[in-house]
Amino acid sequence: MATKAEVNKQKKITTKKAANKKETPSSKGKLAHSELNAAKETLGISPYSLSDNEEYMNSDQQTHFKSLLEAWRLNLSKKINEAVSHLKTDPKHFADLNDRATQEEEFNLELRARDREADLMVTIDDALKRLHDGDYGYCDECGVEIGIRRLEARPTATECIDCKTLSEIRERQVGGYQ
Ligand SMILES: [Zn+2]
Task: Give me ligand 1 centre to Cα 165, in Å.
Answer: 9
For residue 45, the CA-to-ligand 1 centroid distance in Å is 27
Q: How many CA atoms lie within 13 A of 161 on its CB side?
A: 7
Instruction: Look at residue 47 in the predicted model and tell me its pLDDT.
Output: 87
Per residue in 54-65, pLDDT (tens digit) is: 999 999 999 999
What residue type is 88 in one-letter code? K
Answer for the pair 151, 137: CB distance below 8 angstroms, yes or no. yes
Choose which CATH entry (1.10.3210.10, 3.40.50.300, 3.40.190.10, 1.20.120.910) describes domain 4-45+55-177. 1.20.120.910
Ligand 1 center to residue 164 CA distance, Å?
7
- Domain locations along the chain: 4-45+55-177
Confidence at 72, pLDDT banded by 50, 70, 90 = very high
pLDDT band at 102 (very low <50, low <70, confident <90, very high): confident
SS3 helix, strand, coil % of the chain, rounded to 5?
70, 0, 30
Q: Is the pTM of this model over 0.85?
A: no
Cα 123–128–130 angle (5° rounding)? 95
Query: Of how many residues is the chain composed?
Result: 178
> Can you tell me whether residue 167 is helix, strand or coil?
helix
Q: How far is the CA of 175 from the centre of ligand 1 (A)?
A: 22
CA torsion, ordered 66, 41, 152, 164, to nearest 10 deg? 110
Distance of CA 161 from the midpoint of ligand 1 (Å): 7
Q: Report the range of poorest mean pLDDT among 19-23, 28-32, 136-140, 161-165.
A: 19-23
Ligand 1 centroid from CA 90, angstroms: 47
How far does residue 151's CA lie from ligand 1's centre (Å)?
Answer: 13
**Residue 46, C-beta contacts closer than 8 angstroms, at least 6 positions apart:** 40
What DSSP designation does 145 have?
B
